[in-house]
Every structure is written in structure tokens, then in C-alpha cells.
Amino acid sequence: MPTARLGRRSGPTLWRANSLILKRALQWAIPLFVIGVLFYWPMARVLGQGLVGDWLATLAEPRVAAAIWFTLWQSLVSTVLCLLVALPAAYVLYRKRTPGAHVFKAMLTIPFALPTMVTAIGFTAYQNQGIWKSEFASQSWLNSPTSWIIMAHIFVNFAVITRTVGSTWMSHSHDTEEAAALAGAGRLRIFWSISLPQLRPAIVSSVFTVFLYCSASYGLVLVLGGGQVNSIETEIAAAANQFLDLQEAGALAILQTILTIGAFAIGNSGSRSIIGFDVQDAGKPKHGIDRRDWPVAALTLISVILTFVPLVLILRRAFVDSAGNATFENFVALTTHGTRNLLDISIGQAALNSLRNVLVATVVAGFVGTLAAYLLTRPTRSKVQRYASRILDTVFMLPLGVSSIVLGFGYLLTFGDGWLPLRSSWVVVPLIQSLLAMPLVIRIVQPALHAIGAEIGEQASTDGANALVTFFRIELPLAKQSVAAAFGYAAIVSIGEFGAANLLSYGDQATLPTVLYQLISRPGGQNYGMAMAMAAIVIALTFAVVFVSSFPNLNRKLRRPRLSARR
């Protein structure tokens, strides 16, 4: 009799378990289809193209080997220097109660959000200042394009380490540090023995993310390198576009993919928890800055000021002519096609193309990224499910380390004809932009959904709500600030994408970054002034989006909503 009763109970239980597995699989179908068709299929074609010949011999050629060596060592140097200046900022802005911390966080994020071409324009303006033109500077590292590339990489990626490590540091309890201080330990000893081991997963994750960003940098190396130095990305673009050497481009893409997978494997090896790009302040009490914190506070302030120097130079140069006189002519010239009709389309048309691409990329990246983040935070009840969740997380994070040049090359090989002829359509650029923005969306939304906890969902389920109702009525309202920030960052990251647009957008489909590159790469005072004016407008728009996305909601003291089932 007990056996029969057990059989009757196990039948519905097993059916519900199988139904849940099937429902979860159907939910995963959309994001997996998008990432599979639009990312892994073209990447497979690229890797296959590289394996056709002797790709190791191709990589050993002196010119290619020099580009590989430059990519590796400058990425390492840029990452180490970025870490050294970002850790003090993470401590001051996230660990301590600092006046105006939210303003400084937003300010540090602006370089990361700026289009690559705007950053490159800012550093070219920096190079042209008289202070760097001295006889002493001509004999120093300041005259080397490599130095400017490294400084630009620090400028762009400073916020990645600051916000990732700072978000983790903010959540740590003060109890252990206070006990060590009472025992006589100094600040440096406390950091080295207590804080650093706790921060190691976040540091490793952010460091390898920055390394990937630096190794996949295209626009900065292209502009600031001036042809004197080349990286893996510029070599891929040259091989595919100028020399039509698909085997070399494929071989370099293989190496770039190996770097990406290796960096992700190392970066995720020491982390058992979710590490986000920026977690909102939970309102935990913080200690104020005291006298012993003044050195790191001063270093942070100097870092913020230096961050804004290239931007200020752009804004200043936008309002002066070649003779140094104040004028609005640069902005008036934006209605033209440049000196000698350099541009195929007006800047207004390019801006509309960019706006259209950004809207499409933001919707795709935001929707698919939020759905993937939601599915990745669902409770895992077995070791197999946890292992599968980590694999899926890696699957959706890999686009973070693959450059748009490699992906654009894959689109050239994959979508030229057949059932999905995307190569001849304008939609190809926003699709690539959405794939590159999707990991950032996941890394912002996933920690917010994970922080809500499973208890709320279980309570709602007890009240009769299904998973869909629970998400839209409870989880999404609680995480709406992070979701809104994710959509905002997806938009500003998409508008600045240059590599794919430079490779795939032709004629009347040119975008703002490609038009800016045309203006600064051709001689003529009017062209350069137009580039500065357009860059100034983009900076102003980025300021607005970053500040709206970064500032906390003043009414964010959320109550847990009660969901009463109607029976």
C-alpha cells in the first residue's frame, strides 16, 4: 500500500520536473539561436578559413609576428598600469563614504562609453599641444606612438577595473578589517592580508577583461599608431581589405580566439560567484575618508582630472579655427561634405544611420541579454545544472573578447548569399554591435537579479504566481534600475563601435565613427575642425546618457511587493 501511494505521488512530480526542463529549454532557444547563428557560425567560418593552409607558418612571418608581439606586450603593460591607478579609485569611490562619489563614478565611465574615434581624436589633440613638442620630448617616450596607445588604453579601460573591483569591495563587511586594526595592523597590511585575498576573483576577472579589450583594440591603434605600429586587429583588417589574404586574416583570427578563450578560462577560474560590471550601492554603512586615506584620495582626484584633459581639449578645439580664433564655423561646416567633398554623405545622414543602428542594437542586446541573465540566475538543483550554467555563461561572454574586425570578417565569409544574405544589408552592422554589447548587458543585469534571491520567487509561487508573472511583477521592478542602466550602456557602446562599421558599411550607410575617421585621416583645417565639432557633440550626448544611467534612483528604497493570488 505505501508503495502504491509513492508511485502515485512520483508520477506527477516527475511530470512537473520534465515539464520544467522542457520549458527552460524552450526559453533558452531564443538566446542560443541568436548567439549561435550570429556569432558562433561566422566565427567557425573564420577559423575554418585560417586552418585551410599552414596557419602556424603564416603567424611566424616577421611582419605578422611583430604585430602579435606588439599586441601582447602593450596589452600587458596597459593592463598592469590600469590596475595600479584603478585600485585606489575603487577604494575611495566604493569602499569609503566620499562626497560626490556618484558624480566621480559617472565621470570615470564616460571614457569607456565614448566612441573609439572620439578617444583617438582627443589624444591626437593631446599630442598636438605645445608641451609635447619640445626638443626634450622629441627624444623621449612621449614621441612614441606606442606610449600614446598605452595611455589611451588606460584612459578607456580605467572604469572597468574601478567599477568591477569597487562593486565587490563595497559588499565586504568591515568587521574583519576593524578587528585587524584593533590588533595593530596598518592600512597596507590590512589591504595585503585581508582585502586583497577577498578581491582577488574580481581583480582577476576585470584584469583579463581589460587585457582582452586592449588586445582587441582597433581604432586606437589605427589612428594613434599612424602606420608605425600594427596589432593583430589592424593586420586582420589589412589582410582582408587591402591584400585579400583570407588565409592570413583567418590565421590571426584563430590566434585572437585562442587568446580570448584562454583569458576567459583564467579570469573565471577563481570565481565561484557572479562578478558584475557595476552593482548598485545597497546602502551599507561606510567609513568616511580620514587623514590616512588622503594619498589615495589625491591620486584618485588626479586620475579623474587627467581623464578629462583629452575631452576638454576636444571641446576647446571645436570652438576655434586653425588660427586659434573663437568661432562656430566648425559646427556650421557640419552641414557640408568637407573640404573638396571628402564625404560621400553629410554628417547629418551619418548621424541618422548611427541612430538607427544604435536603436536596433540596443533592442536586440537588451532583450536577449536580459533574457540570458534571467535564465542564468534561475536556481540550479544539481551539479550538472550548475556546470551547464557556467558553460552557458561562458558561451554568452565570449563575444566580449572577440573584436568586431574578426566578427565582421566572419560576416563577409558567411552571409554573402544563401538563406541569410546579411552582408549587403545595413542591418549587419547593428547586429554585430548588439553581439558586442550583449555581454555587458548580462554582466549588469545578472548580479541585480541574483541579489533578489530565490525566496521572493518561492513566496510568489506559493501565492499562485507562475515564473512569468513573478518576473514581470516582482523581479523586474526590483531590478529595473540595473536593466535601464544596461540598456543605456548597450546604446553608448553600440554608437562607438568602429571596426565592423569601417569594414562593412559602404556609401550611404556610413556611420559617425567612420565619417570621423575620414575627417581626421585627410589633410585640411576644415576637415579637422569638423571632426572636433562632431566629437564635441558626441561627448555631450555621452555625458547625458552616462549620468542618467549611473545615478541612483532617489526613491530606490524598494519594498518587497506582495503578490496575492486571486482565487
Does 407 map to a domain?
Answer: yes
pLDDT of residue 190: 79
The percent helix, strand, coil of the chain (3-state, each to 5) is: 75, 0, 25
Does 272 map to a domain?
Answer: yes
pLDDT band at 361 (very low <50, low <70, confident <90, very high): very high
- Per the structure, how many domains does the chain have? 1
DSSP 8-state code for residue 345: S
- The tens digit of pLDDT for each residue in 468-526 reads 777 777 777 888 888 888 888 888 778 777 777 877 877 788 888 888 888 887 766 67
Helices (H), 240-293: 246-269
Q: How far does the chain reach from its first CA to its final CA, in angstroms?
A: 34
- The tens digit of pLDDT for each residue in 314-346 reads 888 888 877 778 888 888 888 888 777 777 788
The span from the CA of 561 to the CA of 564, in Å, is 10
* Three-state SS at 97: strand
| CATH, residue 439 | 1.10.3720.10
Buried b (16+ CB within 10 A) or exposed e, 413-437: bbbeeeeeebeeebebbbbbbbbbb
Does 11 map to a domain?
Answer: no
Does 56 map to a domain?
Answer: yes
Q: Identify whether the C-beta of residue 512 lies closer than 8 Å to the C-beta of residue 350.
A: yes
pLDDT band at 557 (very low <50, low <70, confident <90, very high): very low
The span from the CA of 129 to the CA of 309, in Å, is 11
- Structural domain of residue 166, as residue ranges? 44-550
The span from the CA of 501 to the CA of 33, in Å, is 24
| DSSP element (H, E) containing 227 | none
Whether the CA torsion 356, 413, 396, 232 is positive or negative: it is negative
- The tens digit of pLDDT for each residue in 365-393 reads 999 999 999 888 887 777 777 788 888 88
- The tens digit of pLDDT for each residue in 58-82 reads 888 888 899 999 999 999 999 999 9
pLDDT band at 36 (very low <50, low <70, confident <90, very high): very high
Does 336 map to a domain?
Answer: yes
| The C-alpha cell that represents 246 in the structure block | 583570407
Does 31 map to a domain?
Answer: no
Helices (H), 291-427: 294-318, 329-332, 347-376, 383-397, 404-414
- The tens digit of pLDDT for each residue in 157-181 reads 988 899 888 888 887 777 777 787 7
**pTM score > 0.85 for this model?**
no
Q: Write down the mean pLDDT value for the chain.
A: 78
pLDDT band at 40 (very low <50, low <70, confident <90, very high): very high
Does 189 map to a domain?
Answer: yes
* Three-state SS at 376: helix
DSSP 8-state code for residue 326: B
Does 120 map to a domain?
Answer: yes
| The C-alpha cell that represents 276 in the structure block | 558584475
pLDDT band at 362 (very low <50, low <70, confident <90, very high): very high
User: What separation in angstroms does the CA of 326 have from each of 169, 316, 322, 323, 330?
Assistant: 46, 9, 10, 9, 10
